[in-house]
Amino acid sequence: MHLLVNGTRQPLAGEIPVPPSKYHAHRALVLASLADGTSRIRGVSENRQIRYTVTLLRGLGVGIRIKDDCYVVHGTGGHYPARRTALSAGNSGTTLYFMTGLASLADRPVTINGQKYFRRRPMGPQLEALRRMGVRLDAEENRTPIRVEAHRPCGGRVRVPGTLSQWISGLLLLAPFATGPTTIEVTGQLNERPYLELTVAMMRRFGLRVRVADDWRRFDVEPGQQAVATDLTLPPDIGSAAFGIAAAALHRSDVLLRGMDRAEGGSGDHPEFHFLDVARRMGVPMTPEEGGLRVRHDGSPLKAVDVDCRDMPDMLPVLATMATFATGESVFRNVAHTRLKESDRAAAMLQLNAMGGDLDLSGSTLRVRGTGRLRGARLSSFNDHRIQMALAVAATAASGCSTLTYPRAHRTSYPAFVTAMNSLGLSVSTENESIARRTRSHDRRPIHNPDHAARSTLPQWLRRRAADRPDGLALVELRAGRDDRLTWRELAERVDRTATMLLRSGVTAGDNVAYQLPNRAEFVVISLAVLRIGAVCCPVMPFLRERELAQVLRQSGARVLFVTDRHGTRRPAEELAQMPARERGRLSQVYVLPEDVGPAGIPVPTADLTWHDWEQALADTAIDQDALAACEPTPESTAQLLFTSGTTGEPKGVVHSSGHLVRAAAMEIRHLGLGAQDTVWVPSPLAHQTGFLYGMVLALVLGVPQILQGEWETERALRALDEHGATFVQAATPFLADLVKAVKDSGRTPRRLRIFVATGATVPRGLAARAGRVLQAAVCGAFGTTETCLAALSAPGDEPARRSGTDGRALDGVELRITDGGRLLPPGLQGCLEVRSPTLFTGYLDRPELTADAFTEDGWYRTGDLATMDAAGFLCVTGRVKDIINRGGEKIPVAEVEQLLFEHPAVEDVAVVAMPDRRLGERACAFVVLGTQLSFAGMQRYLEERRLAKQYWPERLEPVDALPRNPIGKVEKFALRERARGLRPHPVRRSRQSMQQKGTR
């Protein structure tokens, strides 16, 4: 399910009721629960977080009932007669922070828990302060669940950082009920002071005494106080009204926010009261009138502002949206603590860049340069109510349609948000994905349903695109000095012409057609032409030389080959001409493509081969639609023969059907929520599955442009990302590392890039996390093989630690398991990774024995990888079975050691492999690419500091200029193992040597 928002240019009119303030409600309910007597709080809130506070208080024995529009709270006099020992704060951070300390006033021990994302919430400083006040609690790693003993606090002098006001408020609410006086001192930067002012004001209203220093950095509270029952009326919630004000500001409007007249004429004690001042400074025309606050204008422009967010951090998302439509540059300062909320709110609002905004986050400052107009996009709410509502308001003023994840997130604080927006004439609705897709006029086909998508072949998808939007951009090829473009009509025409040419060359359905080309438009054209007539694509990596090409030609039996006349310093066509005839298998016809414009350089003809100039042959061919219609392939037709990258030194031909390829692309599209607003950047070789399937095929099925980069040059890549608005890329570790370095060196962040799926090789977790921050995009871990296609993938909406810190979770329809000797292992244990998937390959070409060996008796594919999987299904690949280092019976966790070494500032790249040893069998050798000097002793000190078991330490550090990698970034460890055969461990001191003789190190 998604929240679907359609942009509109129509004026808004109507009125929306503003709910009561949740900030007042939380504090009033908590204080009323501690009072001696009955309090009445007028203004019942539908806010889910308030409901969690009410539920938790009831669990502590507080009588709370709702009568008409009033909470009737029967206070307990400061002693909670707990009814339950297990309490939940749900998804309310305020409930958690306020009630953790107060739970010590219960008459028996209680445990407080909450939703899973609270495991990321920082609570250490508050819990430490509570402990110093005498609260007896136990919390593993200072995270929920928290067990609180029944023991009244003793007070004392405590210090707490001013990072979050909720930490301080939680201490203040507890202090009057301690047995001794309490002094609370705030250290560091004080954020969110208005929230503290509200806490103190509400405490005083309930008869509690608090002395506050002028700078609000010291609080003195007397012990043994008694709260007094109170009746009060909750003011309107400015935090909710802000979204109505913002929506009215972005459109021509005549909107009344009912109930806001009390906020305008009141004391201004609402923590977000200053939002109204900022909105006025931005030029929002707000007029108080009887019954509410009216926003009326006919296109009034917004102005840029400079705001210190320490006092109203929760307003950052909606203000960032408004600033995107303002004239000039708005600056939001001191935003660091907003990144500790339900999500990293400052970073989350950078998604406006994907809509055409211009935001930059640097340190604790967010700068927003107004652009005036946005376009629809697929966005993540991060299950954060304020992020979702702020982005939804932005989407109402964008062109086209936007979709947001977690459609119910707004119910946490403003359940009536969708109703309120629609009442003004906007279009905001909760729809499932297929309905959302059908609203897009340009594409009504089920690309997000893999079962339906796989019923059409790639040529059929191409014809649909050409019919639906013939002049739409289909492909961009980055060339030296220029970029070549093809529309869908032009691409379809070239494909049909090339397919006719293949038929005239004698190619028939089921034939393997080989082509050795870099990433260029002709690769896409030839691939689709081969599929158009039911033949089989057999791409060859362009870097392969005569030996490897001969092997492909012999195994595939290809009779037609496409090559370039030049590729860098090489001459592929001439190399082929000089290859002995017996090495070329059944090859009989060669089409030569020029590296650039002009006729191709064809070598001296050979007797056994017919040579063609590609451009001339294509010009001489007229499309024969009747002949093409006679050989229409089916989804079950074999479509691809791809030879494995060969990190083991033994490439095998992997066979896939058309349906498998389309299904695999659609599965990723659905998992990541890709849509018509995306543009696919393809730096990965098209001749490898990453580029072929998750570049070319994915873009075709999705119906969006693909940007082909043939020669990897980082500066060109960074420039092309912005020039062509690329939003998605799937590529290997080296591409990610180079891009991060380029961004850091240049200071230019890709403005629209939002998802980078890192595949092909294990991505260092530190690099992935750093890349997410530097690129301001979601870096998603993934796992797949040539045989399985993608099997596991994280998503932008996953919590950051899992998004970039794992290899993802199983795609819908895929099953993963971890085994040891056929025994299924429980979560967390390392074992052999096995996959069962609807996108598994058909088999290895002409190798039935290898195909059979690849599967277990019950039909699961053996990946050859070692991995762990947690209880939530997130995968961590820890290495290859063949990478295991067995040191005297102790198996070394290679991936863990590599990850640790990669985090050393001197290490730019690392691979750990086995080094033969007579006594222990094997020892570990670390091959490292160094940016600065690192000695063997320095490595040992570093691993000691990281507390890595000494048995796992590499016993040789071998510097290299570069690690041997195949074109998709996988380290060729077989080459390193061969090199390690001639190496020996570094000498060690006698004392350590004697330890080694005991096998303990």
Q: Active-site positions?
A: 314
Structural contact between residues 262 and 235, judged by C-beta atoms closer than 8 angstroms: yes
- Is 108 assigned a ligand-binding role in the annotation? no
Read off the DSSP letter of residue 776. T
Alpha-carbon dihedral of residues 698, 699, 704, 708, nearest 10 degrees?
A: 150
CA–CA dist 337, 265 (Å, integer): 31
CA–CA dist 625, 623 (Å, integer): 6
Residues for the chain: how many in total? 1001
- Is 469 assigned a ligand-binding role in the annotation? no
145 upstream amide cis, omega within 30 of 0 = yes
- Is 362 assigned a ligand-binding role in the annotation? no
Read off the DSSP letter of residue 59. H
Q: Inter-axis angle of helices 274-281 and 238-250, to 10 degrees?
A: 10
Question: Which distant-in-sequence residues (6+ apart) come within 8 Å of 728 by Cβ?
Answer: 672, 674, 678, 679, 680, 681, 753, 754, 755, 756, 757
- Is 455 assigned a ligand-binding role in the annotation? no
Structural contact between residues 721 and 693, judged by C-beta atoms closer than 8 angstroms: no
Q: Which of 385, 219, 347, 368 is nearest to 796 (CA)?
A: 347
Q: Which two tokens stand for residue 553?
A: 């030609």
Question: CA angle, corner 33, sides to 27 and 37, nearest 5?
Answer: 125
CA–CA dist 190, 186 (Å, integer): 7
- Is 341 assigned a ligand-binding role in the annotation? yes
Q: Which two tokens stand for residue 61?
A: 């024995």
Alpha-carbon dihedral of residues 53, 70, 415, 96, nearest 10 degrees?
A: -10
Phi first, then psi, for residue 365 (nearest 5°) are -130, 130
- Is 445 assigned a ligand-binding role in the annotation? no
Q: Which of 101, 110, 55 is nearest to 82 (CA)?
A: 110
Structural contact between residues 618 and 501, judged by C-beta atoms closer than 8 angstroms: yes
- Is 262 assigned a ligand-binding role in the annotation? no
Structural contact between residues 118 and 89, judged by C-beta atoms closer than 8 angstroms: yes
CA–CA dist 862, 790 (Å, integer): 14
Structural contact between residues 666 and 453, judged by C-beta atoms closer than 8 angstroms: yes
The amino acid that residue 241 corresponds to is A
Give kind and range of the element (H or E) at residue 558.
Answer: none
Give kind and range of the element (H or E) at residue 547.
Answer: helix 546-556
Residue carrying structure tokens 């080459």: 975
- CA end-to-end distance (rounded Å), the chain: 55
CA–CA dist 312, 194 (Å, integer): 8
Question: CA angle, corner 612, sides to 608 and 613, nearest 5?
Answer: 150
- Is 830 assigned a ligand-binding role in the annotation? no
The amino acid that residue 135 corresponds to is V
481-488, long-range: CB < 8 A, 24+ apart = 483/720, 483/723, 483/724, 484/521, 486/521, 488/462
Give kind and range of the element (H or E) at residue 577.
Answer: helix 572-577
CA–CA dist 325, 354 (Å, integer): 15
Neighbours of 858 (CB within 10 A): 8
Q: Which two tokens stand for residue 113?
A: 């828990």
CA–CA dist 43, 101 (Å, integer): 27
Show the DSSP H helices in 592-709 as ranges. Answer: 614-619, 625-629, 658-672, 689-691, 698-702
- Is 765 assigned a ligand-binding role in the annotation? no
Transcribe 811-833 into DSSP letters: PTT-EEEEEETTEEPPTT--EEE
- Is 970 assigned a ligand-binding role in the annotation? no
Give kind and range of the element (H or E) at residue 904.
Answer: none
Give kind and range of the element (H or E) at residue 384.
Answer: none
Beta bridge mates, 833: 818
Annotated binding site: 22, 27, 93, 121, 165-166, 314, 341, 345, 386
Annotated binding site for phosphoenolpyruvate: 22, 93, 121, 166, 345, 386
